[in-house]
Amino acid sequence: MSVFRPNKNTSGLWLSDIACCRMAGAQYTGIRDAVIGQVEIHEVCKAIVDTEEFQRLRFIAQCGFGKFVFPTANHTRFEHSLGVCHMAKLILDCLEKNLDDDVVVITKEDKLCVQIAALCHDLGHGPFSHFWEHFLKEKFDKTFIHEEMSEKLLDRIYENHEKVRNVFKKHNLGREELEIAKRMIRGVLPEDKTKNYLYEIVSNKISGVDVDKLEYLQRDSHQFGMNCFVAIDYLLSTAKIIKLPDGTTTIAYREKTTYNLLGMFLNRAEMHHRCYQHPVTLAIELMFSGALKQAADNDFGIDYKENGQVKRRKIDECHNHLNEYIKLTDDIFMNIYNSLSDSLHEARHILKRILHRNIYVLVLKENITKEMNFTDMNYNKLKTIVENSLLKELNNKYNGQYEFHCKIVVINMGGTSDNPLKNIHFYNKHNEITHQDNYLDARFYSKDSNFVSKVCFIFCDFGGTQKPSDDTIQAIKKQCREEFDKTFQRKSHVNSFISSTK
C-alpha cells in the first residue's frame, strides 16, 4: 500500500487530523502510522488494544533477531497488528463497494469479527516471534502454535476485562462472535459456504493472499530498507466477492492484477532470502537458542505467587500458564545478560559474544536441489540427515576442536501450492470469472518450475577465542563442501564454492 502523505489545508491542519476529528463522532480512532499513514481502529478493537495482553506486543520484535543485522528492523508485533486490523477494514470497504446484487450481505457484525481477528491474530507470539516456536520444538520437543495461543489470549481478554465485554455488547457482539473471530485467526472455513470469503481475509489457507501477508510485506520491506513490489491499494480496490457453482463465496481480483499478486509472492521469497534468513540472523538465533536452553536448565524462568509463596515457572512450561506467559517478551535477553546468578554465567557469556559480534562463522550455504533427490523431504527429515551425517563427520574430523551447527531453511512464496497463482480467482472487465493459465506469462510458470527452495546453512563455533586465520577457515569450508557433497551424493564443486565465499 502506498504511503499516505496528507496535504495541508489553508487552516494549517493536516487532512489526517480532520479525518481523525470526523472519526471521533463515529466509532473509529485515528492513529498515525509511519508506514501506512492513517490507521483507523474501531472502538471494539480499541478496547482490546488497551489491555495488558495486547500491549505486551510492544515488546516482541516483528522480525525476531533481524534487528541485529538491519538496525531499523526494530518494529514490533504491536504496530503490525494495528496495520493488519486497518487493512482488514480497507478490504471490507472495497468488497462492499464492489459487491454485486444477490451475492451476499455483509453485516456490521461480520465486519467487526474480521477486524477483531485481524487485530488479535498475533497475540500469541512468544519472545522474538517465530523464534519461540522453533526453540520449544528443537530444545524441548514441545509443539507450540502461536495462533492457538492467540485464541487463548483473546478468550482471556474477553473474560478478564469488563470494558471489553461492555463494548462487545454495545455492538451486538458476544461469545458467538468471539468464536467466529477465533476461527478466522486459524483460517478454518465455516459450515455456511456463503461466509467463506470472510475467512480468507486474515489467514487465507486457500490462496495465501491475505491482509496479514500484505501488511508485513509492506512494513518489513520499509523497515529493512527494501522495495515492496506490491501496489496494495490498487490490489485491494479490485477485490470482489464471487459465488462459485457450489454456492461457496470467495474473493477474486481483476485479472490485470496478476503480476501484482505474483510480485507479492516473489517479494515474500526475496524477503526470506535477503532478510528473514540472513546468515548472521540465523547465527544469532542459534547462539541465543543455546544460551536460553542453558539458562532454562539452570532455573531461569518467570516468577509467580502461589499461596503467598514466590515460585518460578520454567520458561518451557509458561505456555500452559497464561499468567506467566504474558510476561514472556524479548526482555528475557537482557534479563539473562544482566542477571547476577552464577548459574547463568555460561548463558551470559554467549549473550556477551552476540553483543560483541563474536558470532558463529558461516562455513557452508548450499541449496538442496532437485537433482539431489532430497527435495521431497520435509524440514525434520533433512535436518536429521544433516546432523547424523554431515555434522557428525565434521565433528569427528576436528575432534571437538570446533563445534558445528546446522540450520535448514525452507523458503516458498507463501502460496498454498507449487504455482502461487493456482488457487486465486480472477475476473475480467466483463465480470467473467477467468483462470490464471489463460494469461500468466510462461516466463514465470511452467510445469517444471520450482517455487520452493531448501537451503542448508552450516556454522562453525570457534569457541569465542581469537578467530582462526583465513586459510584455516577456507580449509574448513572445503571440508564442509566435501562432506555436503558426500551426504547428498553430488559431485564436488569445492573450488567454485571457495572462490564464491572469499
Of 356, 396, 392, 372, the C-alpha closest to 455 is 372
Mutual orientation of helices 130-140 and 146-160 as an angle, nearest 10°?
120
191: exposed, middle or buried (Cβ count in 10 Å: 0-12, 13-18, 19+): exposed
In this structure, the number of other CB atoms found within 10 A of the CB of residue 11 comes to: 7
How long, in residues, is the chain? 502
Q: Longest C-alpha distance within the chain, in Å?
A: 76
Q: For residue 264, give Cα distances in angstroms to 79, 158, 166, 210.
A: 21, 35, 39, 11
Backbone angles phi, psi at 411, to 5 degrees: -120, 125
**Distance from first CA to last CA of the chain, Å, rounded?**
39
272, 278, 283, 289: CA torsion to nearest 10: -30
In the DSSP assignment, the letter for residue 387 is I
Distance, C-alpha 69 to centroid of its chain = 17
Question: What residues are labeled active site?
Answer: 146
Name residue 172's amino acid: N
Contacts of 196 (CB under 8 A, 6+ apart): 189, 190, 248, 249, 250
Of 332, 322, 315, the C-alpha closest to 123 is 322
Alpha-carbon distance 419 to 52, whole Å? 41
CB 138 within 8 A of CB 203: no
CB 158 within 8 A of CB 182: no
